Structure formats: structure tokens, C-alpha cells
Homo-oligomer: A and B are copies of this chain.
């Protein structure tokens, strides 16, 4: 069960509206690695968690925090869309604020043409659950597998992409308010990268999972002879120069081997003929 506290976790109002920037920052709400993704991913992982309760509680804590991050960004977008020009300017109604923001070189029409049209037509200048090109967030963006190491690696990756994108948005703005709000979110992403690294360490300390995931699958059931080979699938061997091509494997259970000129191990496939009732093309005479 959830509760809402009306204060925002953190927020600084942008000094100037910027409808085109509002379009772009939608990526942080509804993009593949936006706040809707981490919120839903952590909540579903928490609800599906069968591991020790500290993991479950932690997942739900962080997932709940992320709902508030959507709230912060939705507020930010509403302010960025303030006074967004949605119709052609009437005579005598020159808008000095827009003019000032844009320094004359960006006419009102450019903003009208470049903003997300759904911000005007569909949401009436509010945030939408979609990304910076207007593609909607969807449930395939998240994973909750029941295996905590697999999922924590997913979370680490999501926070890495998420911080990278937030940093890019930071660089793309000159507005002190926007930059201030983002610098809070970027710091939280730093925490969350550290958090998932810590949780991975904790899982190993608790003897619950290790590499390769899932570690509960008996290694002798996989074809061990292929478990540490790098197959070179190209001309040239620059790929032999990395750590992955030689030395002890990272799981400590094997030795990397570089196969410079691999060959297929099995014959050409021969798919069987389907039922004639399906009217596929037969092998012929």
C-alpha cells in the first residue's frame, strides 16, 4: 500500500520556459531507461522477490523513490512548457518573454514547429508517459526474473544508461534551475549505481549467486569445452588483444582461449517438410 507526501523530493524551477527542451527531457520519464522503467522494474522485482527480506524491502524502497522522480520530471516539464506558443502570434501581442529567451534568432514559429505536438494537442502542456520522440513507455522495458543477480545486473545497467542520459540532458541545457534539478537526479543515479554494485557483493557474500548466472545450474550440464572460447568471426584479430582472449576467466573456473579461425561444428540444416495442408512450397522433383 502506498502514500503520497505532497512535498517533492527535490526541485528547482527552471528560470526560462523551453518547450523544445521539454520534448527532449521526456526521454528521462518514458524512455527505455527513464524513471518509469526503474520504478516499475524495482517494484515488480520487489513484489516477485523470494530472497531474504532485506532485498525485498530495499527493492521496494528504491522503486517507491522512483515514483517521486517521475513526479519531479512531470513538474519540470510543466514549467518548461509554460507559455509555450501553440498558435500563430496575433498582431500586437508580441510575447517579450519568448523573444528574450530565444534572443531573436529563434522565432516563435521554430518552437511551435519543433516542440512535441502532443504536448499541445493531447496533454494540454503536461508531461506524457512517452520518450523524446513520443514513443510510449511499455512493459517490455523492464525485467523481474526472480534471479536476483541477473536482476541486479539489469538494475546496474539501467542506472548506468540513466545517469548517462541525465548527464547528456545536463550538458544540453544552460538553465540554472534545470541544471540544479538534474544535478540532484544525477547524484541519485550515482547512489543507485553504487547500490547495485553493493547488492551484487552482498548476494555473493550471502552465498546466493555468483558468475555464471544462474549459478545454481550444475556447470557439468553445459558443454564446458566451449565455455571460455572467444570465436573470431572476422578477418583480422584485433579482438585477440583484450582481456577476454587470454588468461584466467573472470569466474575463476576456466581459461580464456582465442579461436582465430573457427569452423561450424555441425552440418547444414535440413528442415523437414510440413503437412501439405499448409500449402508451403515443396522440395520439388
Contacts and interface: CB of A to CB of B under 8 A. Distances in A.
A144 B121 contact: no
A92 interface: no
Interface residues of A, number: 197
Contacts of A27: 117-118, 121-122
A117 B191 contact: no
Copies of this polypeptide in the complex: 6
A142 to B, nearest CB: 6
A271 B11 contact: no
A266 B177 CA distance: 13
A273 B79 CA distance: 10
Contacts of A221: 170, 183, 186
B236 A57 contact: yes
Which of A60, A82, A140, A249 gathers most chain B CB within 10 Å? Answer: A140
B138 A136 contact: yes
A66 to B, nearest CB: 9
Nearest to A254: B194
A4 B60 contact: yes
B146 A139 contact: no
